[in-house]
């Protein structure tokens, strides 16, 4: 089974998981957020699959980085849920509010006026003030800068035992996010043909696909376990096909 086939199989089971989770939300805030993480992971994995299918590996790597970050954020959210579910959900909502207001302020609050019943500038700023009142100045600054965890992505990854993946994947694949590294393109121009580097490309794509399925699979397994969606066995079988264990630390 190729990586593409393996990813397609994981996408199929993730779609089933999304449908089952949707029926279990029932007004439960943690379930709503976990569902959002699973949707994010599934849709991002679909994007990665499409790009690899069309041999757009560098573009796929950009989405692999996004999926890895989603996995890190998901595990951090689960840790916060274990400590205090209400606080975890509130922090996630508050960080989203702060980011939305920041985005709107950067554009002088242009755009919401085009959306029916969208909040006004005053309403957004009132929401921001309400959020700010819940935190100390230091906590608020961290929330504004890093989101609901209050920590950098590097610290988040390290706290989960994922420092090596962060260094290898997140940092390395960032070049495709920021479009500042053209080494591979220049390499082809210099030597005339891509097949000269076929072994390098196989190794590179192996890493990218492996991280993608580890990240999406980890989110799926955790969500399935928490809400008892009945997919443990099939997810375990998918992992075994590639020698992957979706356990803590992977």
Segment 192-230, tens digit of pLDDT: 655 567 777 788 888 899 999 999 999 999 999 999 999
Mean pLDDT across the stretch 61-78? 96
pLDDT band at 146 (very low <50, low <70, confident <90, very high): very high
DSSP character at residue 118: P
pLDDT given at position 248: 46
- Per-residue CA distances from 73 to 195, 218, 222 (Å): 37, 12, 13
Residue 39: closest CA among 16, 59, 56, 57: 16
Rounded to the nearest integer, the mean pLDDT of the chain is 88
Stretch (H or E) spanning 247: none
For residues 159, 163, 169, 170, the Cα torsion angle rounded to the nearest 10 degrees is: 50
Percent pLDDT > 70 in the chain is 89
Q: What's the average model confidence in pLDDT over 104-114?
A: 84
User: Looking at per-residue confidence, does 145 or 109 come out higher?
Assistant: 145
- Residue 190 confidence (pLDDT) above 70: no
Q: Is it the case that residue 27 has pLDDT exceeding 50?
A: yes
Is 162 or 173 the better-scoring residue by pLDDT?
A: 162
Backbone dihedral angles phi then psi of residue 223, each to the nearest 5 degrees? -65, -40
Which residue, among 47, 100, 97, has the nearest Cα to 70 in the 3D structure?
47
Q: What is the spatial distance between Cα 230 and Cα 232, in angstroms, rounded to a whole number?
A: 6
Q: What integer is the mean pLDDT of 26-54?
A: 95
**Could you tell me the sign of the dihedral formed by the alpha carbons of 208, 211, 214, 219, in that order?**
negative
Confidence of residue 249 (pLDDT cuts 50, 70, 90): very low
Distance CA 20, CA 229 (A): 6
CA 143, CA 93: separation in Å to the nearest integer?
11
The residue to which tokens 């072994």 are assigned: 199
């Amino acid at each position: 089974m190729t990586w593409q086939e393996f990813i397609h199989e994981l996408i199929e089971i993730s779609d089933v998981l999304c449908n089952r989770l949707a029926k279990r939300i029932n007004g439960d805030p943690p379930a709503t957020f976990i569902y959002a993480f699973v949707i994010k992971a599934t849709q991002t994995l679909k994007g990665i699959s499409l790009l690899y299918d069309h041999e757009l590996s560098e573009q796929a790597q950009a989405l692999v980085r996004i999926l890895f970050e989603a996995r890190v954020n998901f595990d951090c959210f689960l840790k916060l849920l274990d400590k205090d579910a209400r606080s975890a959900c509130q922090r996630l909502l508050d960080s989203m509010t702060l980011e939305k207001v920041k985005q709107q302020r950067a554009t002088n609050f242009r755009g919401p006026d085009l959306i029916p019943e969208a909040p006004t500038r005053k309403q957004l700023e009132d929401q921001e003030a309400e959020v700010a009142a819940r935190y100390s100045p230091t906590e608020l600054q961290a929330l504004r800068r890093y989101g609901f965890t209050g920590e950098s992505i590097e610290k988040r990854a390290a706290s989960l035992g994922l420092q090596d993946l962060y260094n290898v994947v997140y940092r390395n694949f960032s070049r495709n996010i920021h479009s500042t590294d053209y080494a591979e393109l220049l390499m082809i121009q210099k030597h005339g043909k891509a097949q000269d580097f076929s072994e390098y490309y196989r190794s590179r794509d192996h890493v990218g696909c492996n991280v993608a399925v580890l990240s999406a699979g980890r989110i799926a397994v955790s969500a399935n376990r928490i809400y008892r969606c009945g997919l443990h066995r099939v997810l375990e079988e998918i992992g075994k096909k590639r020698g992957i264990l979706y356990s803590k630390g992977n």
